Amino acid sequence: MSLAEFALIDRIRARTAEREDVLLGIGDDAALLQPRPNEHLVVTADTLNGGVHFPDDTASFDIGWKTLAVNLSDLAAMGARPAWCTLAMSLPDASPDWIESFADGFFALADEHAIALVGGDTTRGPLSLSVTAMGQVARGQALRRDRAQVGDDIWVSGTLGDAAGALQLWQRGELNVATATLLADYEALRLRLLRPIPRVTLGLRLRAFAHAAVDISDGLLADLGHIAARSGVGAEVDADALPLSAALRGVLGRDAARDCALRGGDDYELCFTAAADQRDALHALAESLRLPLTRIGRIVDGQGVQCEGERGPGGYQHFAD
Amino acid sequence: MSLAEFALIDRIRARTAEREDVLLGIGDDAALLQPRPNEHLVVTADTLNGGVHFPDDTASFDIGWKTLAVNLSDLAAMGARPAWCTLAMSLPDASPDWIESFADGFFALADEHAIALVGGDTTRGPLSLSVTAMGQVARGQALRRDRAQVGDDIWVSGTLGDAAGALQLWQRGELNVATATLLADYEALRLRLLRPIPRVTLGLRLRAFAHAAVDISDGLLADLGHIAARSGVGAEVDADALPLSAALRGVLGRDAARDCALRGGDDYELCFTAAADQRDALHALAESLRLPLTRIGRIVDGQGVQCEGERGPGGYQHFAD
């Protein structure tokens, strides 16, 4: 390790949350952790690369935030409580200011969920950030993709398509030339792309209600397709029921907005299935979390995802097996 | 995820070891694992980048091997038994053959230590491989850097400097132009650089004998310096006692070989301290493991690492605090 790496690690170590279950954090060959008895360990790993997963001119605070957010979102989709993470950073020629601001974004979210950074390394190279996040869930309570049952309702949290809409505008350069009347909409969409909110609390609460869950990172149709495939069932989505933000509709119009909601990734909302007799409970949960939960379809016999209201033969479009 | 990524993940998933404590492996939002009761979790993360941590023309089998080896070495230095790992791969334009051979190397070592790959992702970009490895150790039994005691002997496993020697020769282009008489030596050194053997079994056995341990990845002086600093003690090394391979001495000569042993990284041997009354037990352990264990110095009052026999004022050279 270089001296610069030591200095960076010292700075990052000083920032990380203290947890009683971290017996030995950064600074030895490995971290020493105390898992909770009678709980399962939940582990996920996700990488963000500059120019691929975010535009090259993204602010480093936002990169730090999103690097952790996409991993917390996977823990949320399992109903797990975040505990620890590692971070492997490949940095080109990052200034101390860049790193400080990256750490500000990373730890703003880490502290909110009391997740401790317990290891990692830095290397020199094109910007790339890999996190492995670990969480815990009581035995038998994890949310999985393979537990959807025929007759379940399909639900999503929040609004869909905002991140994809923001990315489209960014790529067309329109985020910088917005007129004053549209600026608030643009800004709302931009925040959805840059600072996704992992639905950790929702995931924890859904353990009592949901049969199957997934986070929406590749797009609703693709990710719901994973639930269908792994559960051996089909899924029908009502395109008219998709929760679209006013900002997305205002900026893109209804058809393009719906397309973003179906196919756009990066929303990091949760998609889950639950028995029909849970509707009242889920509406109450939405109110208590101040987070919209919208019923968008149902689990059926068969396979693949079909979408009512989308153009296609017979009003149905068949997307994926 | 792209279709190519799914195919790659399917291929890798089919290769990974089955473990009873993996309740849900690759294929959901996260893996679901069953930690052993009354054990601590040991977590480490290390990245290898092409052109930085290995020459660009390294065979992909060797890259796969080394990617896991450097992480298993950290678990070994903690006295932990390997359990699970994640792998984040950034690949430039890897052919199926390249990936297959990478997986061959990775899983050859993974299977040897029964470690299961439970998550990860692939992205397109310059070659970079990040592993987070998880192991387990009974409470209170982990080997740490901060437990060296004044009066302890300092020991190292195997021979030192071989990897650094091979790298020097590689960089000078001499690995390809060796005369027949030197070829065997070159090959021996090259294997030490490309296929480091993580000392996992040694680490497990050392829990009964060692006070402090570290793996030698940055060089003996640097890594022993970590033990000294974290334990609040000094270390004296006898340069004449360093275990040098016949191959290294034959190819580089004694002085250059010693320099590689002191300052060269990438050997992934263990350096540890133990009370003087453990000498017989450690010699017996060396015999039973068929792995040399060599006493190279002692822990003293003070700070930093001093090396007897090295040029420098008074025959001592003071290296690090």
Written as one string, the DSSP assignment of A73-113 is HHHHHTTPEEEEEEEEEEESS--HHHHHHHHHHHHHHHHHT
Give how far A183 is from chain B: nearest CA, Å: 32
What's the mean pLDDT in A151-168?
96
Residue A181 pLDDT: 64
Which residue does chain A place closest to B37, by CA atoms?
A37
| A2 and B CB contact within 8 Å | no
* Dist CA B302 CA B235 (whole Å): 8
> Taking 80 as the threshold, does the pLDDT of residue B128 lie above it?
yes
- Cβ atoms of B276 and B221 within 8 Å: the answer is no
Which residue does chain B place closest to A33, by CA atoms?
B41
Q: Compute the mean pLDDT over every residue in chain A, rounded to the nearest whole number.
A: 90
Fold of A3-138: 60s Ribosomal Protein L30; Chain: A; (3.30.1330)
- Phi then psi for residue A46, to 5 deg, are -145, 140
B132–A28: do the CB atoms touch at under 8 Å? Answer: no
- The yes or no reply on domain B153-318 and CATH 3.90.650.10 is yes
Name A30's Cβ contacts closer than 8 Å, sequence gap at least 6.
A119, B42, B43, B44, B74, B75, B77, B78, B80, B133, B135
**The two structure tokens encoding residue A26:** 């950064």
> Taking 70 as the threshold, does the pLDDT of residue A17 lie above it?
yes
Domain ranges for chain A: 3-138, 153-318
Question: Per-residue pLDDT tens for B86-108?
Answer: 999 988 877 888 888 999 999 99
Name the pLDDT band for B125 (thresholds 50, 70, 90): confident
B32–A78: do the CB atoms touch at under 8 Å? Answer: yes
Name B7's Cβ contacts closer than 8 Å, sequence gap at least 6.
none
**The two structure tokens encoding residue B90:** 């950034």
Question: Per-residue pLDDT tens for B195-235?
Answer: 999 999 999 999 999 999 999 999 999 999 999 999 999 99
- Cβ atoms of B147 and B231 within 8 Å: the answer is yes
A119–B28: do the CB atoms touch at under 8 Å? Answer: no
Instruction: Consult the annotation and say whether A321 binds a ligand.
Output: no
Name the pLDDT band for B179 (thresholds 50, 70, 90): low
Contacts of B77 in chain A (CB under 8 A): 29-30
Nearest to A130 among B37, B118, B130 (CB): B130
Nearest to A29 among B47, B78, B125 (CB): B78
What's the mean pLDDT in B9-38?
88
